[in-house]
Structure 1
Amino acid sequence: MSVHFGRETTGDLSIAEKKEWIITNGIGGYGSGSIAGSITRGYHGLMVASLHPPIDRKLMLTKLDEVLIYRNTAYDLTTNRWDSGSVSPKGYRNIESFTLERSIPCWRYACADAVFEKRLWMVHGKNTTYVSYTLVSAEEPVSLKVSALVNNRTFHNTGQVPWPIEVDSISDGVKITTHDNDALPLTIKMQGATVSPKNELYKNFYLPVEVTRGLNSNDTHVHAADFEVTIQQGQTVLFLGTAEEDTDFDLTAYDNKKQQETAILDQWQQLRKSQKKEQPNWVKQLVLAADQFVVNRSTEPNSTAGKSIIAGYHWFGDWGRDTMISLPGLTLSTGRHEDAGPILETFSHYINEGMLPNRFPNAADTPEYNTIDATLWFFQAIRTYFETTEDKELLGRLYPKLQEIIDWHIKGTRYGIQVDPNDNLLRGGQDGIQLTWMDAKVGDKVITPRIGKPIEVNALWYNALKAMVLFADILEKPSNQYKTMAASTKKGFERFWNEEKGYCFDVLDGPNGNEALLRPNQLFVVSLPESPLSTKQQKQIVDICSETLLTSHGLRSLANFEQEYIGIYTGNQYQRDSAYHQGTVWGWLIGPFIHAHLKIYKNTYSAQRFLKPFKDHLQGDGLGTISEIFDGDAPFTPKGCVAQAWSVGQILQVYDEIENLEIIQNTELTPKLAII
């Protein structure tokens, strides 16, 4: 579709190792690596299984080291970096091309006149990875030798490989078990291969990306088995890695995966209001990327009926704030209404003291509630869901919970979150607790505490009250209370306007008074459906953000003229988190910016221009998807997670808005103006 590289990329290890593919299984599991064939992060592996979907993830099948024998010559197909500084083998030299076939990574190797292809994918709903090997053309059969490297540690690189393990021979492969009672066995098999069980440690894999992040850059894995098979021209051989009880080869697995992708794209295409017969390939790629974040989450034991959204790959789980912000784009803009409703209901089960969970820890279902805004984004997600689906039944079921949330915020809930009766604004915060989306914390130190009355929180609070008026009217419930509260909040919101600077304070009534740092948070005053400020003030906000915060890949979290600004996101955890919201660019903020810009200027050409760099970014670090963050300084190098839900979701949502506005304006883009 949108991602393809030839030897100019695959043959340069310094470039190829920075381009990462990802595959997922819809339950929180994933596979990922570099197109060079090397592992550059502790999070890389062919199968990271989710033991309790969508969390409790374990790296199980790390990688396959392959050697192709053709006409008595051995060709390495894999690459490994070692702690000694050496690179051996150097299989990247034999990669003729890499293509992301929709969401399936495909390597093409040229070995003399033999052309050989490898593809890999995961089975939806199962901790199962397939690797297919196809001999496209050759003058005679080839022999393929595969060494399987495995593990069974948490997906965070602890450096602690489970050892010893048991490797037992089975038909076509081996079954690997550890002495950890909570671990699942791993079965690896290869069609028609001779199998030689092994059981030895491979130490000192070097992980260059972890060096830049100040994390453990050395890893150890277990060489569990060797496979050897002869492949004829035109023949495909499957390799299977699974943590499931059913270990039989599914010969329809590849076709099933392609059909799943086609169904996702067809569902999205049917939703288009535009008369275009063919949508842009890069947007189609993002629709497929959206699918990678939507996962099952049970709300009851042995149930998979619930749904959630993984915030980002590789290390994030499902977060309340990220889920609600990304839900409209990932599900409603893609036609997946049947997933949107269950996501909202799943999170509603965890509302406690009027608060939505901030996140679910990796190995437990006990949620954490340190968030002041996730609950308010819940209102916006429900509003967008109802406007899209007119699902009055679900709105009726959720309405009592929304009433409960409002009541708790009035009387006060955790972390000092409560409406201030003096100005009817929402305040919150306490020392050592991070509550807003700017939530970096190292040890006991919160980098951007924002204690007091953050501006985006109060824009959300005002919109939550206005949404309650809308919901009450739809459900024929009393709404006067919410109308009165919304009017009072609008009046109190006037305090945010900083007349001297011509834009808004970021936080009111903090420990040191009002905070006047120029941040993108005031954009939500414009981008959300209801604004408590005048049109003139809204325009000033959009203009100052355009001038000082806008970049090619999102908005800076702090203006670069502020003393606290940090332009490069790098170093150990403390250094990185110190820059996280102090200038680092966030991809997801392009959504609120474009929403706001369209509201003020209604200029679809400018909006498309803001999106255009993301088309190119699909061939950047996380292939076919959008990164979490970027350096605040040019050239805005991608950092953080290579695939982030709200980055993808916000772009899909504003793409819809641009297209719909064009239809309303009854204009069509000329080829010169089209960004596709």
Structure 2
Amino acid sequence: MKLSFDQTITRQSGEASRREWLETNGLGGWAGSTLSGTHTRRYHGLLVAATNPPVGRQVLLSKLDETLRINGETYELGTNQYPGAVYPQGYLHLMQFRKTLFPEFVYQAGGVTLRKTIAAVNGENTTLVTYEVLEAPSPFSLEWLPLVAGRDYHSMMHVNGDVQMGNLIGDGVLHIQPYADSANLFISIPGAAFHEQADWYYNLEYAIEQYRGLDFREDLFSPGRFSLELREGDKVGIIVSTESPLGRNAFALLDKERRRREMLLDNQPVKNDWITTLTLAADQFVVKRGDNLKTIIAGYHWFSDWGRDTMIALPGICLTTGRFDDAKNILRAFAQSVSEGMLPNRFPDYGEAPEYNTIDATLWFFVAIYQYRQFTHDGVFVRDEMLPVLHDMLDWHFRGTRYQIHVDTDGLLYGGVPGQQLTWMDARVGDWVVTPRQGKAVEVNALWYNALRIFAELARDFGQGELALQMALKADLAIESFNRQFWNPEKSCLYDYIDGDYRNDNIRPNQLLAISLPFPLLTMDKARKVLQVVEKTLYTPVGLRSLSPDHVEYKPVYGGDQWHRDGAYHQGTVWSWWLGPYIDALVNVKGRQMGTRQARQVLDNLAYHLNEAGIGTISEIFDGAAPHSPRGCIAQAWGVGELLRVIRVHQLFDSPVAETLQPVQP
């Protein structure tokens, strides 16, 4: 893995501040910021705890800024953005950043060389920060300034009189519950002295929040400072947690977490730079739900678990990485939440009832179960626990369920009501549904056909021959109607959706599912034409555009306030996850030899992005226009998962991540 930067990047404030690191804890919480240490998002923090896993997130400790004092000189290692000023400018002392199993920072100041490592502990709301003094000409003092937020992760904190100071409960251990409705916060720095001094730090600015048209200034509270005398060869291990750290050792916890991550890599049957990098990235999305179940966080920093995203991501995140038990528990978690034959679209942040405004998440559930069986050969689980759920889902779709979702007389699936967004193109601003697509959507019906074929195959294999035949006949009707109604002879591709006599001919990536899913729907001649149209109009080095650039509604840049952002979300914005179906289509249509060769080139074209935004992971979206700047979430489950899946399924092992990871010009 060559995920590293020297001072040509780290000592440039702009370059260092647009690259981000992320550590997650398997509960839905995290630690994360930029290389420079400047927070650019309200979601950045050293301990963002999931108090009701995987949600209930609170930014407890925003920062722990360091100051080094030696021989009468003072060197600030932290960095913050204030109105019109960057202060302090600790990034000038950052000589190197690298991401291996953990993010590591090397600072040099006053002749002292410090290596800092940050790690989130799996299964705990705990962040570790360790320091090793690699060089020091003489003893020196290191100070830490805790900056406390104590707020919900979507909100911002401002100066107030309600914040609590906290108290020492042991050697270098501070306990503080900032507010009555916030979780407990413990900071342990063994051997350090704590100097109580209440201060507010005003108007820290978060640049990305400003770009997004949101409130971007925050005040943070500090109860005082820690200080510790150090010399060459010393090590310091800090524990930041919602639970008491008394009796615990940061380095022991770090070693345990290191072994856990090394085991994830050791379990991979193929060693490859892409697989190594993306296996660690995939680990960040698998989190706890309830007492014994698991789920997949859709993206960091603001998503929870979504039905559609989870089912698309699951094969790559869990199955290709050998996390079969996690996959089973995720499928169980969602099966338990099925209502009227529908998988939930999302679980809200604050414990409200799940939302079911999705037509395709349920159908992706069939695909995920099909791939689970292919990878695990676990027929007992599929037969006993999943098959009855799938049968009930199909029955509901034939009878009709929410939002007019029902099977029409032509065997195709119809869905939609005014004011609702049911497909993956689900942006909505107030009452404005940007891409409503009411009727029979092309990708929905490709998934519907696959759901019928998958169920027919499973029913046959498990001795339910008559039921299998019934579903196979319904699949035959669906594919015949699909080819007759969706083919657009003028553009030599598929209509995006149809509603009665209306045919929407927007060029979007949705039609790829007709040639990329386990059971394709088109003849090879039509498949070649669809792929050619998609490649010509939608492909970019980082994903597929959501709308052809020649369309009047095409938006080349994703940015601005929510109205502008959501208006562009599916109107040209590039989505990384579509590289998975695209690579499937390349291999299916162009043949294994030519298809895999082109697929490897797709990976080579994307490699630079691993060092561009979220280090070692894949962003959610990008601008439709070059240079395709990354936007949205810095780490997206289906983007990571789909790449892992196609790399393993199509054996794209001969294309390691380029050593320099320099941008490839489109």
TM-score, structure 2 normalization? 0.95
Specify the alignment match of 1:585 in structure 2. Answer: 574
Write out per-residue CA displacement over residues 126-159 of structure 1, whole angstroms, 9 at most, x where no aligned residue.
0011111111111222210111011211111334
Give the Å deviation of 1:614.
Answer: 2.5
- Aligned equivalents of 1:438, 1:639: Cα separation in 2: 17
CA contact (8 A) 2:79 2:89 kept: yes
SS of 2:611's equivalent? coil
SS of 2:267's equivalent? helix
Letter in 2 for 1:195: F
- Aligned equivalents of 1:52, 1:671: Cα separation in 2: 37
Specify the alignment match of 1:276 in structure 2. Answer: none
Q: Map 1:257-406; keep pairs closer than 5 Å.
A: 257-268=257-268, 271-272=269-270, 279-298=271-290, 303=291, 305-396=292-383, 397-406=385-394
Specify the alignment match of 2:396 in structure 1. Answer: 408
Give the Å deviation of 1:169.
Answer: 2.1
Specify the alignment match of 1:242 in structure 2. Answer: 241
SS of 1:60's equivalent? strand
Specify the alignment match of 2:458 in structure 1. Answer: 471
- Aligned equivalents of 1:225, 1:124: Cα separation in 2: 29
Specify the alignment match of 1:543 in structure 2. Answer: 532
- Aligned equivalents of 2:657, 2:535: Cα separation in 1: 26
Instruction: Tell me whether 1:156 sits opposite 2:144 in the alignment.
Output: no
Instruction: Tell me whether 1:566 sits opposite 2:555 in the alignment.
Output: yes
Q: Map 1:107-186; keep pairs closer than 5 Å.
A: 107-159=105-157, 163-171=162-170, 172-180=172-180, 182-186=181-185
Greater mean alpha carbon deviation, residues 574-583 or residues 72-81: 72-81
Write out per-residue CA displacement over residues 563-597 of structure 1, whole angstroms, 9 at most, x where no aligned residue.
11000001000100100000000000011000011
Specify the alignment match of 2:493 in structure 1. Answer: 503
Write out per-residue CA displacement over residues 166-215 of structure 1, whole angstroms, 9 at most, x where no aligned residue.
412221132111442x4321111211100123433222001111111111
- Aligned equivalents of 1:149, 1:213: Cα separation in 2: 24
CA contact (8 A) 1:455 1:496 kept: yes
Instruction: Tell me whether 1:480 sits opposite 2:464 in the alignment.
Output: no
- Aligned equivalents of 1:21, 1:100: Cα separation in 2: 8
Instruction: Tell me whether 1:656 sits opposite 2:648 in the alignment.
Output: yes
Specify the alignment match of 1:430 in structure 2. Answer: 417
May I ask how many residue pairs the two structures share in their alignment?
Answer: 650
Specify the alignment match of 2:67 in structure 1. Answer: 67
CA contact (8 A) 1:419 1:427 kept: yes
Specify the alignment match of 1:197 in structure 2. Answer: 196
Instruction: Tell me whether 1:617 sits opposite 2:609 in the alignment.
Output: yes
Give the Å deviation of 1:246.
Answer: 4.9
Instruction: Tell me whether 1:94 sits opposite 2:93 in the alignment.
Output: yes
- Aligned equivalents of 1:588, 1:598: Cα separation in 2: 17
Give the Å deviation of 1:53.
Answer: 0.5
CA contact (8 A) 1:2 1:618 kept: no
Write out per-residue CA displacement over residues 241-288 of structure 1, whole angstroms, 9 at most, x where no aligned residue.
1112454432411111211111010111xx33xxxxxx3324311110
Specify the alignment match of 1:56 in structure 2. Answer: 56
- Aligned equivalents of 2:477, 2:394: Cα separation in 1: 15
When residues 351 and 592 of structure 1 are mapped into structure 2, their CA distance, relative to the original with a 3 A threshold, is same
Specify the alignment match of 1:553 in structure 2. Answer: 542
Specify the alignment match of 1:26 in structure 2. Answer: 26
Specify the alignment match of 2:12 in structure 1. Answer: 12
Letter in 1 for 2:218: D
Letter in 2 for 1:433: Q
CA contact (8 A) 1:80 1:88 kept: yes
Letter in 1 for 2:221: V
- Aligned equivalents of 1:533, 1:425: Cα separation in 2: 15
Identify unmatched segments of 5+ residues in structure 1. Answer: 273-278, 663-667
CA contact (8 A) 1:13 1:36 kept: yes
SS of 2:343's equivalent? coil
SS of 1:594's equivalent? helix
Letter in 1 for 2:396: W
Letter in 2 for 1:504: L
CA contact (8 A) 2:617 2:640 kept: yes
Letter in 2 for 1:456: E
CA contact (8 A) 1:54 1:297 kept: yes
CA contact (8 A) 2:495 2:505 kept: yes
Specify the alignment match of 2:588 in structure 1. Answer: 599
Instruction: Tell me whether 1:221 sits opposite 2:214 in the alignment.
Output: no
- Aligned equivalents of 1:380, 1:40: Cα separation in 2: 38
Give the Å deviation of 1:164.
Answer: 2.4
SS of 2:220's equivalent? strand
- Aligned equivalents of 1:457, 1:331: Cα separation in 2: 24
Letter in 1 for 2:214: L
CA contact (8 A) 1:2 1:285 kept: no
Letter in 1 for 2:319: L
Specify the alignment match of 2:80 in structure 1. Answer: 80
- Aligned equivalents of 1:671, 1:143: Cα separation in 2: 41
Letter in 2 for 1:632: G
- Aligned equivalents of 2:651, 2:179: Cα separation in 1: 56
- Aligned equivalents of 1:609, 1:657: Cα separation in 2: 16
Instruction: Tell me whether 1:233 sits opposite 2:232 in the alignment.
Output: yes
- Aligned equivalents of 2:7, 2:201: Cα separation in 1: 29
Aligned-residue CA RMSD in angstroms? 1.8
Write out per-residue CA displacement over residues 620-676 of structure 1, whole angstroms, 9 at most, x where no aligned residue.
11111000000000111100000000000011111112317x8xxxxx88999xx99
Identity rate of aligned residues, in percent?
41
- Aligned equivalents of 1:147, 1:312: Cα separation in 2: 30
Letter in 2 for 1:613: N
- Aligned equivalents of 2:575, 2:507: Cα separation in 1: 15
Specify the alignment match of 2:627 in structure 1. Answer: 635
Letter in 1 for 2:360: D
Letter in 2 for 1:321: R
Letter in 2 for 1:294: V
Write out per-residue CA displacement over residues 8-37 of structure 1, whole angstroms, 9 at most, x where no aligned residue.
101100111000000000010111101001
CA contact (8 A) 1:308 1:318 kept: yes
Give the Å deviation of 1:439.
Answer: 0.5
When residues 40 and 434 of structure 1 are mapped into structure 2, their CA distance, relative to the original with a 3 A threshold, is same
Letter in 1 for 2:422: L
SS of 1:143's equivalent? strand
Give the Å deviation of 1:161.
Answer: 6.8
Greater mean alpha carbon deviation, residues 400-409 or residues 112-121: 112-121
Letter in 2 for 1:616: Y
Give the Å deviation of 1:72.
Answer: 2.1
Give the Å deviation of 1:337.
Answer: 1.2
- Aligned equivalents of 2:657, 2:234: Cα separation in 1: 43
- Aligned equivalents of 1:363, 1:308: Cα separation in 2: 16
